[in-house]
Structure 1
Amino acid sequence: MTIASKRIVVTGGAGFLGSHLCELLLAQGHEVLCIDNFFSSTRRGLAHLLEHPRFELQRHDVTWPLYVETDEIYNLACPASPVHYQHDPVQTTKTSVHGAINMLGLAKRLGAKILQASTSEVYGDPAVHPQVEEYWGNVNPIGPRSCYDEGKRCAETLFFDYHRQHQLRIKVVRIFNTYGPRMHPNDGRVVSNFIVQALRGDDITVFGDGAQTRSFCYVSDLIDGLHRMMQSADDITGPINLGNPEECTMRELAELIITLVGSTSKVVTRPLPIDDPRQRRPDISKARALLGWSPSIPMREGLAKTIDYFDTLLANPSMAGAIGR
């Protein structure tokens, strides 16, 4: 069956997830307008797409209104790693809140369908495990991570208010830890940190006692989930968790990466950052039931692909700017 070509906007399209999403949409025959202000990414992350006849790149900050024509909007714009979103916390909040208002306004004007890339961070340091979408969370509203956590929570509020007040077609997904090629080596995320440290033979830095847990989803699985959500029936608004329900401790992840790399690195500990969640694991029952989605890439396979990517990257430092953050 042929899929009708659409004009699709991807905000934050030069970033880690955005670049992979742009690729998928182009492969399906759509026209893609990538919007990014390059605060935490670069044009080089999209170098392989710039000459594509159905791809367009526009430098724009979503905290300002955007005037384009589109059928669908994927709103991914916002720094997603602590290193970047804590660098300018006021701008991070503005990106989540003002950005959501501007993209919702665009969707309202055009009658377009719009998807919000929310985050598992809306659950804070959860008192419910695994996290279900009905859980309201345990978030510090005034801590150093609050600019991101509360910004995303407010964006969800805006999406559902536009849906109730203006009958806007919305989709909200809560993304759990995702990894894969094109992560930036210095973005502060645990998978990229551990892999780069292991490849260099440096000590691997684990915070706290390493017993805190995360669940890691390979990027191709996550992008498939985003696309399925956008294509789902209009009455499926979310929020819906997207992530891998397999949970591991930070120490287990470090030791697995050391093994896969064949590294001589040692695990060392550092104090736990403020408000760092102790547990993170999605309940994906809704994604399975409503979207027919669940991750398919095992962690060892996904890590091996990611290690290969970083190994090539570190061997060619000039490529370091060619990846989304």
Structure 2
Amino acid sequence: MTKRVLVTGGAGFLGSHLCERLINDGCEVICVDNYFTGRKENIEHLIDNPKFELIRHDITFPLYVEVDQIYNLACPASPVHYRHDPVKTTKTSVIGAINMLGLAKRVNARILQASTSEVYGDPIVHPQSEDYWGNVNPVGVRSCYDEGKRCAETLFFDYQRQHGLNIKVARIFNTYGPRMHPNDGRVVSNFVVQAIQNQNITIFGDGMQTRSFCYVDDLIEGFIRLMNSDPSFAGPVNLGNPCEFTMIDLAKKVIDLTSSSSQLIFLPLPQDDPRQRRPNIDLAKELLKWEPMIDIEDGLKKTIDYFKG
């Protein structure tokens, strides 16, 4: 029987790749987006596919559809966008989660929450494993996103305990690839766009803070495996690439791959910006048989080609 799958935030960076993958796997996909950060051009190539349906909708309002699975990806995910409207960001995470969990309960669907490594805050444990509770500022400029996602996780596990809902929670670490928004303020898209245009590459802080970068196709594979994993495993589970880079290393790699004449300039570090971020993915390896396959150089080349296009 063909699975009917709802993807909220389906016109966004991750959502569009997920919609595409699900259709290729033979599913019928309902894509929901309010275009706060999602873009129609991300899913234009799917519009005429008979297995694809597009609904303009904001998940802070209830939605009534019949589906077998729900991937809840809707939420601004970059500091530029979530600081633009922090109240909206929190409402999308919290009220959106309540509405999607209510839908899952009504139609008895399995539901996956796209959570984030931001639930770990500025971590004092390194690398971060799922049993670490985090070090989060509840009243800072990033709190709308960090605490919104933490509250969404709480709701998911309470719906599981109280209503027996079949839930999955993925904690997504830095992900990059084609269809990233060019102006979303995320480090890979920033560096690539600046390098292609031979502009100065802006590094915040001293550039020695680290991130680990997962190519989008690898992350989507992790989503699919988690959604279809044993019902007894809800997560949370880290999905990301454990290969760690300083910002300076990443900038130099982008300059090299673009043959750019860009120079590095350094600006003050934003408030609550984490110094280190790297996932421990032992749980994903053990229970999902998942780990990233695409190395940073191959992934960056594909991303650079997209932005050049």
Query: TM-score under structure 1 normalisation?
Result: 0.95
Aligned to 1:66: 63
1:223 matches 2:246: no
- Partners of 1:48 and 1:12 lie apart in 2 by 16
- Partners of 1:309 and 1:44 lie apart in 2 by 13
- Partners of 1:261 and 1:42 lie apart in 2 by 26
Deviations 1:33-73 (A, max 9, x none): 00100111222221100000010000000000001100000
- Partners of 1:288 and 1:63 lie apart in 2 by 34
Amino acid paired to 2:227: M
1:109 matches 2:102: no
- Partners of 1:31 and 1:7 lie apart in 2 by 5
CA deviation after TM superposition for structure 1 residue 284, in Å: 0.1
Higher relative contact order (CA 8 A, sep 6+): 1
Amino acid paired to 2:235: G
- Partners of 1:309 and 1:109 lie apart in 2 by 40
Q: 2:80 aligns with which of 74, 80, 83?
A: 83
Percentage identity across paired residues of the two chains: 69
Show structure 1 runs of 4+ deviating over 6 A.
none
Partner secondary structure for residue 46 of structure 2: coil
Note the aligned Cα RMSD (angstroms): 0.5
- Partners of 1:167 and 1:305 lie apart in 2 by 42
> Structure 2 unaligned runs (5+)?
none
- Partners of 1:237 and 1:29 lie apart in 2 by 24
After TM superposition, the structure 1 = structure 2 runs for residues 73-152 of structure 1, keeping only pairs within 5 Å, are 73-152=70-149
- Partners of 1:40 and 1:28 lie apart in 2 by 26
Partner secondary structure for residue 84 of structure 2: coil
CA deviation after TM superposition for structure 1 residue 184, in Å: 1.1
Amino acid paired to 1:267: L
- Partners of 1:28 and 1:277 lie apart in 2 by 37
Deviations 1:94-118 (A, max 9, x none): 0000000000000001111000000
1:294 matches 2:291: yes
Aligned to 2:11: 14
- Partners of 2:222 and 2:39 lie apart in 1 by 25
- Partners of 2:38 and 2:32 lie apart in 1 by 11
Aligned to 2:273: 276
1:182 matches 2:171: no
- Partners of 2:75 and 2:38 lie apart in 1 by 11
After TM superposition, the structure 1 = structure 2 runs for residues 284-323 of structure 1, keeping only pairs within 5 Å, are 284-312=281-309
CA deviation after TM superposition for structure 1 residue 274, in Å: 0.4
1:44 matches 2:38: no
- Partners of 2:299 and 2:292 lie apart in 1 by 11
CA deviation after TM superposition for structure 1 residue 182, in Å: 0.4
- Partners of 1:253 and 1:154 lie apart in 2 by 32
CA deviation after TM superposition for structure 1 residue 78, in Å: 0.1
Q: 1:164 aligns with which of 147, 161, 169?
A: 161
For the 8 Å contact 2:10–2:38, the answer to whether it is kept is no
Deviations 1:174-215 (A, max 9, x none): 000000000011110000000000000000000000000000
